[in-house]
Structure 1
Amino acid sequence: MQSRPAVGAALALLSAVTFATSGTFARSLIEAGWSAEAAVIARVGVAALVLAIPALLSLRGRWHVLRSNGAAVVLFGLLGVALAQVCFFNAVRYLPVGIALLLEYLGIILVV
């Protein structure tokens, strides 16, 4: 398969933009009366629906890979994605979005 750096860079940029704007959307939903958990369910649910198509296409004929790694996929989805988003959206509830993003980006450095 050929390397396509432009496609990779575009996807990385799209990922960064959607990640950076999620705090603003979460703040709007929270101010409208949503809980942080409901906003996470909506965000993760929409993302799961969008990513289901390419995931299904890439798994054609290799369903054993999903079966053998299903527990790891679910655990990563719950802890690595959903729990991290709940923590971030709860931070957005009490802090300005910019400060919450700064803390999230610097989290590793702050721990070290």
Structure 2
Amino acid sequence: MGWLSRLFPGSKKPANASVAPAPAQAGIPPEKVGLDGAFDESGLAKRVALAFDEDPQLDDLERLWVAQLGSKVVLKGEVPNQDYLSRAVSIARGVNGATDVDTSQVKVG
């Protein structure tokens, strides 16, 4: 099971899903742009999950979760080592609309 389907059950990946879609209409804040460019309250978290799915170095871990608080990406749970967490943070920071990544709720090891 991939990141997107595990974190957002019932959400279907649109055929035109993108980590960096163009907003479907003017005025949508970058953190609220969904996978297909439409407004989505969890748009940033979903695009981060999609970015994790697209990275071959990040195997899906059932103990790491992605959330968002406004434009801040929040990672929660456990990772096996610091390298994994560093990779996840780097990818999350690279997603349009992310202004910060909070890892204070992640246990390493």
TM-score by length of 2: 0.31
More helix by share: 1
